[in-house]
C-alpha cells in the first residue's frame, strides 16, 4: 500500500507512525536447479563457444615441472642448444643441384596466383627437402634419433593415379595392388633394394614396424620385377580409430647381393625392424631415397583382415574427463538446462543420439539440408519450449553435424 492510498483511507488522527504491513500468502517455491531462469531463452548463448556463453571457465589442473637449480639463470638460447647433437648423414653425398635463376615478375602469373588459378607443373618441382620428412618423424622412427640422409636417386611410387610423395593422404583401398615403381639408374652397376613398412601399424607390444613389401637385389637400371621378392605386397592396414598411418618406401643401394630369408604372407609374421635390418647390413646397404604417404582407414581394411581369418579391431581414444563443477540447485551463472545436463551425460550416449538423428535424414545418395531452418516458425515459437525450439534451429543448419557427410566408410 502506498502512502497516498493510506492517506485517503485513514484520517490524520488515526494514522500510525508507519505504514501497516499486509500479510501475504506464502508463494510456492520453484524446485529447479537454476530457478525460473533455466526456462528462459538465452539469445547470447552459443553451444560450441564457451568463452561467449554464460558458464564458468574450465578448471585448469596444475602440472608439476622440475627445474634444476643450477640452470635457473639459463637463457632460452642456451636451453635450446643444451643437449643438441649434430645429426648424422647415413646416405650418399648430396648432388650439386643447378639453381634456377629468378626471372622477372610476370603480372599475369601474379594475377593468377592471387585468384588461385595458377597451375604448377609438378614435373618441374625439385626434390623434397629432407626436413619435410624429418618433420613427420620418419627418420627418427625408421632408424634412430639425429639421423638423416639426402635423396640422391630418383625414386617414384604410385598406386594407379595416386602417387606416393612426402606425406600425401591415401585411402587404404587405394593400396590393394602392388605399387608401380620407377628407380633411376646411377650407371655404376650394383643393386637396389626396396623396403615398404607401416610405421604406425604395429598393434603388438613388441617393437618394430609392419613390413608390407620387400624386394631385394634389383639390378641397377632393371625393372622391379627382376628383383627377388622376399615379402609379397600386402595392402596398408590402418585399423579403425588409429588415425593416419605412415606408409614409407625406402630405397637402398648396394654393390653386392644380399641374402635375405623369405617372409610369409600373413600379418602375424610381418613384424619388422628397419633399424635392426640396417644395422645388420650397414656395411653393405646405403639409403638413397625415401617416400611416404599417410594412409586412412576404409572398409577394405576389414575385408583384408577377414580374408586372413582375422578380426578387425576398433580403437577408441580415452580422453581425459573434462573438469566440471559440482551441480547446484541454484548456480550463480545459470545456462540452458538441456545443455547443462549434457555435460554430465555419457559422451557415447550423446554421439549415438547424433548418429540416430543423422541416419533418419540420410538418403540413398546425399543428405540435403532443409530450405528453411523452421518451416513452422510462428507455431513452434508459441508451442515449443525455448530450448527445444533453439535445438531445432541449430539442428537444421547446413553446417550441423547431422548433415556432415565428409567421412568415407
pLDDT of res. 198: 96
Q: E strand or H helix at 329, and its extent?
A: none
**Of 307, 340, 369, which one is at a domain's C-terminal end?**
307
**Of 275, 307, 339, which one is at a domain's C-terminal end?**
307
Does 190 map to a domain? Answer: yes
Average pLDDT of 153-165?
Answer: 92
Does 73 map to a domain? Answer: no
Dist. CA 196–CA 247, nearest whole Å? 7
- Reduce the DSSP state of residue 179 to 3 states and report it: coil
If you ran DSSP here, which 8-state letter would residue 405 be given? -
Higher pLDDT among residues 284 and 96, named by residue: 284
Domain count for the chain: 2
Question: In the predicted model, is pLDDT for residue 305 greater than 80?
Answer: yes
- Residues ≥6 apart with Cβ < 8 Å to 307: none
Does 394 map to a domain? Answer: yes
Residue 290 and residue 385 share a domain: no
Does 272 map to a domain? Answer: yes
Q: What average pLDDT does the structure give for the chain? A: 79
Does 205 map to a domain? Answer: yes
| Residues 303 and 322: beta-carbon distance below 8 Å | no
Distance between the two ends of the chain, CA-based, in angstroms?
A: 72
Higher pLDDT among residues 378 and 102, named by residue: 378
Task: Name which of 109-123, 224-238, 286-300, 313-327 the model is least confident about.
Answer: 109-123
| Residues 246 and 292: beta-carbon distance below 8 Å | yes
Does 164 map to a domain? Answer: yes
Average pLDDT of 110-119?
Answer: 80
Residue 159 and residue 211 share a domain: yes
Average pLDDT of 21-49?
Answer: 51
Name residue 231's beta-bridge partners.
214
pLDDT of res. 51: 45
If you ran DSSP here, which 8-state letter would residue 240 be given? B
pLDDT (tens digit, 9 = 90+) per residue, 205-226?
A: 888 999 999 999 999 989 999 9
Q: Which domain holds residue 285?
A: 127-307
pLDDT of res. 54: 46
The listed range with the strongest mean pLDDT (48-57, 76-85, 155-164) is 155-164
Question: In the predicted model, is pLDDT for residue 362 greater than 70?
Answer: no
pLDDT (tens digit, 9 = 90+) per residue, 307-327?
A: 999 999 998 887 777 777 777
The listed range with the strongest mean pLDDT (3-17, 252-266, 335-349) is 252-266
Residue-wise burial string across 176-204, b where 16 or more C-beta atoms lie within 10 A, e elsewhere: eebbebebbebeeebbbbbbbbbbbbbee
Query: Taking the model in full, what pTM does it have?
Result: 0.62
Average pLDDT of 235-253?
Answer: 94
Confidence of residue 74 (pLDDT cuts 50, 70, 90): confident
Q: Is 259 exposed, middle or buried (0-12, 13-18, 19+ CB in 10 A)?
A: exposed
| Residues 237 and 192: beta-carbon distance below 8 Å | no
Task: Name which of 19-33, 98-112, 257-271, 294-308 the model is least confident about.
Answer: 19-33
Higher pLDDT among residues 341 and 100, named by residue: 341
From the list 174, 186, 393, 164, the residue with the least C-alpha distance to 300 is 174
Question: In the predicted model, is pLDDT for residue 253 greater than 90?
Answer: yes
Residue 300 and residue 194 share a domain: yes
Higher pLDDT among residues 6 and 159, named by residue: 159
Higher pLDDT among residues 69 and 156, named by residue: 156
Task: Name which of 4-8, 18-22, 141-145, 289-293 the model is least confident about.
Answer: 18-22
Which CATH number goes with the domain that contains 243?
A: 3.90.280.10
Question: In the predicted model, is pLDDT for residue 43 greater than 50?
Answer: no
Dist. CA 298–CA 238, nearest whole Å? 8
| Residues 129 and 138: beta-carbon distance below 8 Å | no
Residue 195 and residue 133 share a domain: yes
Does 34 map to a domain? Answer: no
> ∠67-140-128 over CA atoms, to 5°?
120
From the list 184, 183, 182, 211, the residue with the least C-alpha distance to 196 is 211
pLDDT of res. 46: 47
Residue 389 and residue 339 share a domain: yes
Residue 287 and residue 150 share a domain: yes
Residue 335 and residue 283 share a domain: no
Residue 297 and residue 179 share a domain: yes
Average pLDDT of 346-354?
Answer: 83
Does 22 map to a domain? Answer: no
Confidence of residue 100 (pLDDT cuts 50, 70, 90): very low
If you ran DSSP here, which 8-state letter would residue 276 be given? H
Say which residue the cell 635450446 belongs to: 80
Strands (E) across 199-312 are located at 209-219, 228-231, 245-254, 271-272, 286-296
Dihedrals phi, psi of 180, to nearest 5 degrees: -90, 125
How far, CA to CA in Å, does 203 sit from each of 12, 74, 232?
95, 41, 21
Residue 357 and residue 296 share a domain: no
Amino acid at each position: 500500500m502506498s502512502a497516498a492510498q493510506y492517506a485517503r483511507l485513514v484520517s490524520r488522527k488515526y494514522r500510525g507512525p508507519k505504514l501497516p504491513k499486509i500479510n501475504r500468502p506464502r508463494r510456492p517455491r520453484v524446485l529447479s536447479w537454476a530457478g525460473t531462469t533455466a526456462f528462459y531463452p538465452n539469445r547470447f548463448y552459443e553451444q560450441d563457444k564457451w568463452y561467449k556463453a554464460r558458464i564458468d571457465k574450465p578448471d585448469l589442473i596444475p602440472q608439476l615441472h622440475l627445474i634444476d637449480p643450477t640452470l635457473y639463470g639459463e637463457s632460452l638460447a642456451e636451453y635450446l642448444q643444451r643437449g643438441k647433437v649434430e645429426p648424422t648423414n647415413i646416405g650418399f653425398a648430396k648432388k650439386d643441384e643447378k639453381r634456377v635463376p629468378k626471372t622477372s615478375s610476370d603480372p599475369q602469373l601474379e594475377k593468377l596466383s592471387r585468384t588461385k588459378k595458377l597451375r604448377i607443373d609438378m614435373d618441374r618441382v625439385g626434390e623434397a627437402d629432407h626436413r619435410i620428412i624429418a618433420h613427420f618423424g620418419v627418420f627418427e622412427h625408421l632408424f634412430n634419433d639425429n639421423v638423416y640422409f639426402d635423396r640422391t636417386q630418383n625414386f617414384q611410387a604410385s598406386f594407379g593415379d595416386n602417387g606416393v610423395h612426402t606425406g600425401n593422404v591415401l585411402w587404404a583401398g587405394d593400396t590393394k595392388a602392388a605399387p608401380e615403381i620407377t628407380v633411376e639408374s646411377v650407371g655404376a652397376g650394383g643393386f637396389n633394394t626396396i623396403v615398404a613398412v607401416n610405421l604406425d601399424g604395429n598393434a603388438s607390444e613388441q617393437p618394430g614396424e609392419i613390413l608390407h613389401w620387400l624386394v631385394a637385389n634389383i639390378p641397377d637400371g632393371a625393372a622391379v620385377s627382376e628383383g627377388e621378392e622376399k615379402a609379397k605386397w600386402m595392402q596398408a592396414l590402418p585399423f579403425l580409430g588409429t588415425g593416419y598411418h605412415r606408409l614409407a618406401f625406402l630405397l637402398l643401394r648396394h654393390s653386392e647381393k644380399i641374402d635375405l630369408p623369405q617372409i610369409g604372407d600373413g600379418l602375424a609374421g610381418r613384424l619388422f625392424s628397419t633399424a635392426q635390418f640396417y644395422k645388420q647390413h650397414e656395411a653393405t646397404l646405403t639409403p638413397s631415397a625415401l617416400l611416404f604417404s599417410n594412409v586412412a582407414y576404409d572398409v577394405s581394411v576389414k575385408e583384408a583382415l577377414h580374408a586372413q581369418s582375422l578380426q578387425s579391431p576398433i580403437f577408441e581414444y580415452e580422453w581425459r574427463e573434462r573438469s566440471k563443477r559440482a551441480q547446484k540447485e541454484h548456480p550463480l551463472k545459470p545456462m540452458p538446462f538441456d545443455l547443462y545436463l549434457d555435460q554430465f551425460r555419457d559422451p557415447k550416449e550423446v554421439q549415438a543420439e547424433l548418429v540416430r538423428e543423422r541416419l533418419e535424414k540420410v538418403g540413398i545418395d546425399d543428405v540435403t539440408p532443409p530450405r528453411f531452418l523452421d518451416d513452422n516458425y510462428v507455431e513452434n515459437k508459441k508451442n515449443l519450449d525455448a530450448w527445444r525450439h533453439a535445438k531445432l534451429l541449430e539442428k537444421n543448419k547446413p553446417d550441423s553435424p547431422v548433415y556432415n557427410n565428409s567421412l568415407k566408410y
